[in-house]
DNA sequence: CGCTTCCTTGAGTAAATTCAAGACTTGTGG
DNA sequence: CCACAAGTCTTGAATTTACTCAAGGAAGCG
């Protein structure tokens, strides 16, 4: 399952140092984490954990994209989480997870054995608090996702998805058009994210292209040509939910 | 907005004492909560909080049902949370909420002013830990809900919903048929929960009746006549997700 | 009783799916 | 370097599912 062990970075040099579960830690607390961490790498498509499997480790995503998904008995699949670098896998007090965890791209994880980590959480409020923040952020995201799955049209789903990737992919200049956006998912994975079929995803993406709202560089790389048209197509309130 | 102030119960006599945010508290901690709590009541249909509104209090649901919902600009609505007695409204570190909070039935809340409550949370690990558990339970529920919204058929959605209410409504004898199940939602609210129209909800409920899987006592009260047929109709794994 | 709200049912429609075929990409071995 | 295979994506046609629109019936409330 584990392909190779990546060279382990010093926490201080870690790209996710200030966003991951360790974000609020001081140098002493960081050392405690450093002592129990190991890196594991997975190649694209590899299964990291199966639903129901006992969690022997918890982990932060260092790089790559990880998907969480659930499947019905006849194989219909729904993605229920998309983890980017600094996101966390595993929760305090949970011995197992009730979804599959898959490496969508090549992935490196910063892993902690569950039991020593949970001991550390109990003794370290900075970690406990950060875990809480991460869980609440996921809950917020899950609720927006539920609105999308339950009530948006295929076009609105695609537009929402592209708009989200636009914002996430370049957090420095979030609203500049014609920037390259890398899409780390195949059409089928986008479909599983949005509750659509891959054919519908393809059709709607090509519709947005025909409308000159987006353009393809290649299958996995896009540009947004018309940001406000894209945002209008999401179906969300034009103010993005901000009041006043 | 607030209709009347219910007589305030002693925490020790409170029906949600052992499931709510105070579940892990000892008598001393309970006293601290008791000193800052007030009760508020709302009648069915009343709005408790608007999206974006500043949270001046957080609360436990003492009795009644509270719904959390999001709305698109053209009015399409999706329920994103259904809170029953002992569930909690408001999260540590969150000044506002990004959904509407509505009393679905007559409701009594046990309210705490946000700032004193957050101070108490910081000083009381038992409360902080219980809040974490409640948030993680909600996250698990949200992920099952996403699978339902994204991938289940109308019939599977309805069956899943009824099966959930069956389990929740009588936790003593969870799997006995012909028990009365009270449904605290109107057809339109069920539709908003499931991402359907109210007509489709009505049709599928009557289909389950025609199949003699459920029976109506009246509009709001049902019996499950055939539990295994209902569970088969949910589309979920027959083992309920438990792996050895 | 009469009004309002809620629910049911039917007919026609629209949206997304399914099925099918073919084109483009990428990687591999000759 | 090319040929071929596997994987991925696009596009079209037919179908299905759930929605919309419409009407009427039942229940709850003053």
**Residues forming a β-bridge with B216:** B222
pLDDT tens for A20-58 read: 999 999 999 999 999 999 999 999 999 999 999 999 999
B175–chain A Cβ distance below 8 A for any pair: no
Any B CB within 8 A of A131 CB: yes
The answer to whether residue B76 neighbours chain A at the CB level (below 8 Å) is yes
Which residue ranges of chain A lie beneath pLDDT 70? 1-6, 170-174, 238-244
Percent of chain B with pLDDT over 70: 93
Spatial distance between the Cα atoms of A188 and A184, rounded to a whole number of angstroms: 12
* pLDDT of residue B177 exceeding 90: no
Q: Does B80 touch chain A (CB under 8 A)?
A: yes
Domain ranges of chain B: 3-148, 152-233
Decide if pLDDT at B5 tops 80.
no
pLDDT at B97 over 60: yes
Cα Rg, chain A, nearest whole Å: 19
How far apart are alpha carbons B15 and B11 in whole angstroms?
9
Identify whether the C-beta of residue B76 lies closer than 8 Å to the C-beta of residue A151.
yes
CA B90 to chain centre: 14
Please determine, for residue B117, whether its predicted confidence score (pLDDT) is greater than 70.
yes
B219 touches strand C (CB under 7 A): yes
* 3-state DSSP assignment of residue B140: helix
- Considering just the CA atoms, what is the radius of gyration of chain B in Å? 19
Question: What is the architecture of the domain spanning B152-233?
Answer: Orthogonal Bundle (1.10)
Mean pLDDT rounded to a whole number for chain B:
91
> Which residue does chain A place closest to B94, by CA atoms?
A136
pLDDT value at position A239? 56
pTM of structure: 0.94
Within window 206-225 on A, which residues have Cβ closer than 7 Å to strand D?
Answer: 206, 216, 219-220
Contact between A202 and A187 under an 8 Å Cβ cutoff? The reply is yes
The answer to whether residue B184 neighbours chain A at the CB level (below 8 Å) is: no
Tell whether the torsion through CA atoms of A150, A152, A158 and A160 is positive or negative.
negative
Task: Specify the CATH number of the domain B3-148.
Answer: 2.60.120.10
Taking a C-beta distance cutoff of 8 angstroms, is the pair B145, B138 a contact? no
A45 nearest nt, CA–C1': D7
Predicted local distance difference test score (pLDDT) of residue A21: 97
All residues at 6 or more sequence positions from A194 whose CB lies less than 8 Å from its CB, including other chains: A148, A149, A154, A157, A158, A161, A201, B150
**Residue B46 binned pLDDT confidence (cut-offs 50, 70, 90):** very high
- Residue range B57-84, pLDDT digits in tens: 999 999 999 999 999 999 999 999 999 9
Mutate to test the interface with A, among B150, B152, B231, B238 (most CBs of A within 10 A): B150
- Rounded Cα distance between A199 and B59, Å, is 45
**Beta carbon of B220 within 7 Å of strand C?**
yes
Say yes or no for a CB contact (<8 Å) between A80 and B146.
yes
Q: Give, in Å, how far the C1' of D24 lies from the CA of B206.
A: 18
């Amino acid at each position: 399952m584990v392909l190779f062990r990546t060279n382990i970075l010093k926490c201080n040099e870690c790209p996710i140092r200030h966003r991951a579960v360790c974000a609020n830690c001081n140098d002493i607390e960081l050392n405690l984490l450093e002592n129990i961490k190991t890196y594991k790498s997975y190649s694209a498509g590899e299964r990291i954990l199966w639903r129901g499997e006992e969690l022997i480790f918890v982990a932060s995503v260092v790089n790559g994209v990880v998907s969480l998904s659930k499947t019905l008995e006849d194989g219909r699949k729904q993605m229920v989480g998309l983890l980017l670098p600094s996101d966390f896998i595993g929760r305090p007090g949970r011995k197992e997870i009730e979804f599959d965890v898959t490496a969508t791209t090549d992935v490196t994880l910063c892993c902690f054995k569950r039991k020593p980590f949970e001991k550390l959480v109990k003794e370290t409020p900075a970690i406990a608090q950060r875990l809480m923040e991460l869980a609440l952020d996921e809950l917020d995201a899950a609720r927006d996702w539920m609105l999308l799955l339950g009530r948006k049209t295929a076009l609105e789903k695609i537009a929402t998805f592209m708009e989200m990737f636009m914002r996430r992919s370049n957090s420095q200049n979030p609203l500049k058009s014609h920037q390259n956006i890398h899409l780390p998912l195949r059409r089928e994975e986008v479909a599983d994210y949005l509750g659509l079929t891959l054919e519908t995803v393809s059709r709607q993406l090509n519709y947005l292209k025909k409308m000159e709202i987006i353009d393809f560089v290649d299958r996995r790389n896009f540009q947004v040509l018309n940001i406000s048209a894209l945002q209008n197509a999401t179906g969300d309130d034009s103010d993005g939910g901000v009041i006043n």
